[in-house]
Amino acid sequence: MPRGLAAEATALDDGDVLRAVRKEFALDDGTVYLDGNSLGALPRTVAGRLAEVVGDEWGRLRIRSWTESGWWEAPERVGDRVGRLVGAAPGQIVVGDSTSVNVFKAVVAAVRLAGPGRDEVLVDAATFPTDGYVAASAARMTGCRIREADARDIPGEAGPRTAVALVNHVDYRSGRLHDLAGTTAAVHAAGARVVWDLCHSAGALPVALDAHGVDLAVGCTYKYLNGGPGAPAYLYVRRDLQPRFDSPLPGWNSHTDPFAMDSAYAPADGAARGRVGTPEILSLLALDAALDVWDDVALTAVRTKSLALTDFFLRCVEAYAPEGRVESITPAAHAERGSQVSLRCADGAAGVMAELIRRGVVGDFRRPDVLRFGFTPLYTGFAEALRAARVLGEVLAG
């Protein structure tokens, strides 16, 4: 059976329509990098572009670059590039701040959009912690209460008191993909708003924000979008909601005429209303360069390969891992799977991951017992999936 898997990996790699994209990343060290769901690999275009931004735009033009190098508009311009990857027409996404800060903006703004009597913020109970912490702060500061629910139950849990539901599109721990279309429709039917966290789906599978009428969304850009460590996050505000988007962080960058230096706040129209302070340009323009790798990539091809990779990896794990040592907590059904495989390893998971990394297979460990393997279709191949499972089997057997 292992020999059959090797031949299959070769055939799958040979038929991979995205295979050429890998060359655009700095990945020649023999490592099997399966942590792109935490920090995406380096696109080769970034170093040169960043050197130009530093040397020429900052170093030579200095302050003039705010206008002459397009720095001022970069948050909206790069936002539109992200928009293409998450199904958002131009003018609805702005890049800047961290995901946490954007969750705060989105949840507070959603509460302010809610009708009277709606004082409940419904939160995905298994959420990445920051969303829960920040939603609790948003609730505290707007007179709401928090109620937790399993993300799968949110369609039924949203009710007449619900102002907003905050849901992860893909669960960071299990890799479970939640139903964006159905949940959005159900929350809307209950008269509430929905904020989607796209951190673990954007760039890993097609997201259709506009098509499903999502109200607000946030996400980071350093995972499947490969924007670099701590690359700025983004905020989506559906176009028709923008005139009523009432930000709790009305910094001067969101003013309709920032350089009027007016003491009275008057919010900008459009996505810029979600801006706050001066954007961290070096990180933002590194992301901008990193997005170049997406220019000729179809998200449908990414999704097809992602599912093939995770299917194949799961079969390889079954073939190589000693019986009973690991168990997948990632759903088998394609409709419920993101682009990672999470294996529960009851016995010594932290040590197993450390040894995997030592042997050149980089995933990550989430307490208390989860081994996470992220599959980035732009640069991960099938032979790598096979090797990762084989090394995992050796480590577990060892």
Binding residues for a second copy, rule CB under 8 A, total: 82
Q: Measuring CA to CA, how many Å separate 228 from each of 25, 53, 128, 295, 371?
A: 12, 15, 20, 18, 23
The active-site residue, picked from 16, 97, 171, 197, is 197
Contact residues for 168 (Cβ-Cβ < 8 A; gap 6+)? 124, 126, 127, 128, 131, 151, 178, 196, 197, 199, 200
Binds a second copy by CB under 8 A, chosen from 261, 295, 335, 398: 261
Binding residues for pyridoxal 5'-phosphate: 99-100, 128-131, 197, 200, 222, 252, 278
Binds a second copy by CB under 8 A, chosen from 6, 185, 241, 282: 282
- 276 token code pair: 């706050």
The active-site residue, picked from 33, 104, 128, 245, is 128
**Is 372 among the residues known to form the active site?**
yes
The active-site residue, picked from 223, 238, 337, 387, is 223
Which residues inside 116-175 make contact with a second copy, applying CB under 8 A?
125, 127-130, 132-134, 136-137, 141-142, 173
DSSP string computed for 236-285:
EE-GGGGGG---S---GGGBSSGGG--SS--BPSGGGGG--S---HHHHH
The rounded distance, in Å, linking the Cα atoms of 101 and 98 is 5
Binds a second copy by CB under 8 A, chosen from 8, 13, 38, 311: 38
Q: Is 330 in the site for a second copy (CB under 8 A)?
A: no
**Is 365 among the residues known to form the active site?**
no
Which residues inside 285-304 make contact with a second copy, applying CB under 8 A?
286
**Which amino acid makes up residue 245?**
F
- Provide, rounded to whole angstroms, the least separation between the CB of residue 3 and a second copy: 31
Binds a second copy by CB under 8 A, chosen from 5, 39, 95, 149: 39
Residue whose CB is less far from a second copy, 21 or 186: 21
**Is 222 among the residues known to form the active site?**
yes
Contact residues for 141 (Cβ-Cβ < 8 A; gap 6+)? 108, 248
Binds a second copy by CB under 8 A, chosen from 191, 250, 348, 360: 250
- Provide, rounded to whole angstroms, the least separation between the CB of residue 380 and a second copy: 13
Binds a second copy by CB under 8 A, chosen from 33, 236, 373, 382: 33
339: left (phi over 0), alpha (psi -120 to 50) or beta: alpha
Helix axes of 382-397 and 349-358: crossing angle, nearest 10 degrees: 130
Contact residues for 160 (Cβ-Cβ < 8 A; gap 6+)? 117, 118, 190, 191
Residue whose CB is less far from a second copy, 32 or 389: 32
- In the chain the first and final C-alpha atoms are separated, in Å, by 21
Kindly state the DSSP code that residue 378 receives in the 8-state scheme: T
**Is 223 among the residues known to form the active site?**
yes
The active-site residue, picked from 118, 193, 325, 372, is 372
* Options 1-9, 81-89, 92-100, 152-160: segment touching a second copy (CB under 8 A): 92-100
**Is 197 among the residues known to form the active site?**
yes
| Catalytic residue set | 128, 197, 222-223, 372
